[in-house]
Structure 1
């Protein structure tokens, strides 16, 4: 009894420490975004602003023609939503094929796909850029949307979830004359909604936060997503702390809101082996 109580206390302390590590930088960013640059430079160690200002948000969103944050925000929204929808369509169909359909070389192809996960993503940057350049997609939304549309890990995740759905469901549907597409759309798709929610959440977050690849394929300021664009909020000779932190805070708003609305489904989906009972 005493050991359990001690273990709970240790666990609580550890969790509180992790919360402190993650929350403090966000709170600091939030509070500092309401400070003037002069206040930051002269009173760097004060927690609360001497004078609360909202001019940083006005400057960042609407007052900086060389760094159009509002346009970047819209670009990121278009890219992330489009990629998320495309990913859900492709990986759900691929997962169904590798899980429920029988064709020659199915398992060998799947093993080969899994083996590609062993290579670091940076290895693909140069050949992928050459493909994008050949297609004429540089400075185009497609350059950021299409390359990440068929993530191998997402296919694996959905395939494993589908493996937990009894195949007797498929056989019963086939006896009633259902085709593969009917089985997928009417039977399988509703059952895999939890894992699709997880894939959608991860995909949107990864696309929104991606910095390296958009920095390579976008050199037009007007077409940049917000994450690589934030580097332009820095001054030429010195870092503009107030504007940089304000831009960073604006950038995390969509992912924070998304998590608030999907955390229930996300927590339910952590048990991916649950599948379908019965």
Structure 2
């Protein structure tokens, strides 16, 4: 009798099958995610008259950059870009400084009430930002900061989630280097600045990117804190463009594409740091 061949059911083959299935599902999800983006770009490149044409078409024989030209010449898009850059960069720098210092203190310093204070900071993640709108606005008004860059920057610096992420990363750093430097007479500030921060570049880059993206996309608080058109950020400016343009969909989509382009470029350049930091902090769910 001849032996009947049995299918390969080894763990390696099973894992390979699951990897292929996961890759296919991921590719499908990526394509679904790209559809709105491609539609926005396609609409922005169409002549205005074809954006409402029935039946709807994906392609036009008259594609061009007229909508982008009008956005630059008929709106304050460049000014909005500058304002968003100033606000997002300012918030990012201040968050990196304050959150890293707070996280280092929680990770390396023993003091009375440390666990309680850390629990209070982490609990701040669950507080909806809308709850703080009125007291924050009254505070900015009392300080005379309304209609300034500081009114948009300072309330966004408090980032308990970033403190938590950085603390988890600092907890995983080896203490031997700090102990050796402490034996040589290094102060706590020098340990933080010359030992811990250089070892934390991946997570700092990720925290910086997350903060920059969130601040760049934030519409609610800048809309409330600023009424001066010269201080509007990209999301606030795009809302005014939509109301003033009416049904000019090509120009609306062109503005939206240009507004999101810096974030796409930033992610492309820093995606390795983001993935590496997620793996190091254990936030991937593993």
Q: Provide TM-score, normalisation by structure 1.
A: 0.92
Aligned to 1:272, what secondary structure does the other structure show? helix
Pairing 1:82–2:90 present: yes
Which shows bigger deviation, 264-273 or 154-163? 264-273
> CA separation in 1, counterparts of 2:243 and 2:208?
36
Q: 2:225 aligns with which of 187, 208, 217?
A: 217
Residue equivalent to 1:48: 59
Could you tell me how far 1:237 is from its partner in structure 2? 8.5
> CA separation in 1, counterparts of 2:208 and 2:92?
6
> CA separation in 2, counterparts of 1:169 and 1:35?
59
Residue equivalent to 2:250: 242
Deviation readout 1:16-37 (Å, 9 max, x if unpaired): 2211121111111112111121
Residue equivalent to 1:38: 49
Unaligned runs of 5+ in 1: none
For this pair of structures, how many residues does the alignment match? Answer: 271
> CA separation in 2, counterparts of 1:257 and 1:43?
34
Q: Provide TM-score, normalisation by structure 2.
A: 0.89
Could you tell me how far 1:199 is from its partner in structure 2? 0.3
CA contact (8 A) 1:32 1:49 kept: no
Alignment of structure 1 residues 130-209 onto 2, 5 Å: 130-209=138-217
CA RMSD between the two structures: 1.8
Could you tell me how far 1:218 is from its partner in structure 2? 1.5
Structure of higher CA gyration radius: 2
> CA separation in 2, counterparts of 1:178 and 1:129?
42
Could you tell me how far 1:138 is from its partner in structure 2? 1.4
Residue equivalent to 1:101: 109
> CA separation in 1, counterparts of 2:72 and 2:245?
22
> CA separation in 1, counterparts of 2:112 and 2:278?
32
Unaligned runs of 5+ in 2: 1-8
Residue equivalent to 1:57: 68
Pairing 1:267–2:278 present: no
> CA separation in 2, counterparts of 1:119 and 1:85?
23
CA contact (8 A) 1:62 1:70 kept: no
